Amino acid sequence: MINKDQKARRLFGTNGIRGVPNEDLTPEFCASVGKAIGTVFQTKNIAMGRDTRVSGEMIWSAVEAGILSTGVGVTDLGILPTPAIQYYCKVHGVYGVIITASHNPPKFNGIKCIDKDGTELRRENEEDIEFTVEHGEFKKAEGKNMGQRTFYPAAVEDYIEGIKRIITPENVKKAAFKVVVDTGNGASFRSSPELLTGLNCRVVTLNANPDGNFTSRNSEPKPENLGELISLMKTGKFDLGVAHDGDADRCVFVDENGNFVDGDRSLALIVKYFTSRGSKVVTPVSSSDAIEEVCNKNGAVLVKTKVGAPIVSRTMIKEKALVGGEENGGIIYGRHQYCRDGAMAMALVLDLMAREKKKISVLLDELPKYSMYKTSTELNEDWNEVRKRILNKAGAEEIDFTDGLKLYLREGWVLARPSGTEPIMRVFAQAKTDAKAKELADFIIGIASP
């Protein structure tokens, strides 16, 4: 047991240790993180996987050398989506290490640790690793006990089979959908096209060459980065367009007419068709009211949290929730696993399209309609001062204090919260029209920075 009277320097952010290879993530540093992981986990074998980043090999080798030096073995799963590694950890009950920086630009990379149940490592275990890195009290194996590397090449197949067991593949197969999938040079280059062809979809792939420099497009799946996918969908020849981020824990959709679908709306769709009376749903307070309305209609219980994927997944575990997610395309389906899973979200949408026998645009049209507007503004003074001014001047009818200030105004609501990482205030607004949502956001920004 580690005595943590002295606090160590914080290394893990909300999504693992992130940094620039050879600057923050030097081989020496990565090896000591590996040594600390082996020392803290005290286990036989740790699963490792990575995304397509060019620096992945260097960081992997250093982390792996550190782990092996403690007498702990490494199971090499190769290049695969973050949720596929989490699924392996859950099924086999082993710890995992993922070398990835998700959607960040190619110059970054990161080290992320996974618990034996497939969820992100708890903060107290991350602190144990940080403490061990700082104090250098590593386990050292003798030559004859040194950890060994083994390979498990079937993790992608297992993951695809796991997803198919959650849906009704026969229905999807019968529908023979035409799907365009843009894997953005990232970790889903093999898994998502294989899952789709296994579901009898006719598949066109975009950027399905693994390329760690992300030369084809920025790996964040935002509409401005998905021009190629959107124009292909505009030809009207396909039923669904899909795009993932670099490590494929996220998934966004483009409808059969080439319209980008907000993550909030695809989440509302999944909530509508996969929950029933008593199901629990978890979303941050920034999500649109469409999700709440759909929950009410189904008799499902909505639990609202602060903004942030780890908070959503932790709340889901606590509440034993069925569906959760955020507006950025991170969707969690509890029957599969408690982590964001891009391929699972894609399979659920195909499953409901097959079941309902309707176009994706029609299914989306049937959801409650709200306009969302998202922006940010510089925060030049203490948040508490800004907060006070907003409270005094906004004239809100009701206020929710879950995260920052969520102000219910006559024609909609505005959520204003200080960013945890930058000196900015993030603003989310919801109204009945796009223009009104922007007007409400501008009104609150006007009060915040007079």
Residues that bind Mg ion (CB under 5 A): 102, 245, 247, 249
Is the separation of the CB atoms in 284 and 292 below 8 Å?
no
Smaller CB separation from Mg ion, 169 or 263: 263
Please state the closest distance from residue 310 (CB atom) to Mg ion, in A: 12
Report the amino acid identity of residue 169: P
Please state the closest distance from residue 341 (CB atom) to Mg ion, in A: 10
Smaller CB separation from Mg ion, 98 or 437: 98
Please state the closest distance from residue 108 (CB atom) to Mg ion, in A: 12
Q: Using CA atoms, how far apart are residues 16 and 108, in angstroms rounded to an integer? A: 12
Smaller CB separation from Mg ion, 74 or 331: 331
CA 375, 380, 382, 388 dihedral sign is negative
Q: What is the DSSP string of 265-303?
A: HHHHHHHHHH--TT-EEEEETTS-HHHHHHHHHHTPEEE
Please state the closest distance from residue 106 (CB atom) to Mg ion, in A: 14
Please state the closest distance from residue 23 (CB atom) to Mg ion, in A: 22
Q: Using CA atoms, how far apart are residues 174 and 405, in angstroms rounded to an integer? A: 48
Q: Is 230 helix (H, G, I), strand (E, B) or coil?
A: helix
Please state the closest distance from residue 162 (CB atom) to Mg ion, in A: 19
Is the separation of the CB atoms in 405 and 392 below 8 Å?
no
Is the separation of the CB atoms in 240 and 353 below 8 Å?
yes
Q: Which of 32, 55, 102, 191 is catalytic?
A: 102
DSSP 286: T
Closest by Cα among 314, 311, 313, 307 to 328: 307
Q: Using CA atoms, how far apart are residues 432 and 445, in angstroms rounded to an integer? A: 19
Smaller CB separation from Mg ion, 247 or 255: 247
Please state the closest distance from residue 314 (CB atom) to Mg ion, in A: 17
Smaller CB separation from Mg ion, 15 or 305: 15
216 a catalytic residue: no
Q: Using CA atoms, how far apart are residues 394 and 390, in angstroms rounded to an integer? A: 5
Report the amino acid identity of residue 119: T
Smaller CB separation from Mg ion, 15 or 39: 15
Tally Cβ neighbours within 10 Å of residue 20: 14
Is the separation of the CB atoms in 166 and 349 below 8 Å?
no
When CB distances to Mg ion are compared, the closest residue is 102
Taking each helix axis from N to C end, the angle separating 123-135 and 27-41, rounded to the nearest 10 degrees, works out to: 120
> In Å, how far are 47, 68, 131 from 142, measured between CA atoms?
22, 11, 23
Residue bearing tokens 């039923």? 239
Smaller CB separation from Mg ion, 64 or 245: 245
DSSP 116: T
Q: Using CA atoms, how far apart are residues 271 and 324, in angstroms rounded to an integer? A: 8
Q: Is 157 helix (H, G, I), strand (E, B) or coil?
A: helix
Enzyme catalytic residues: 102
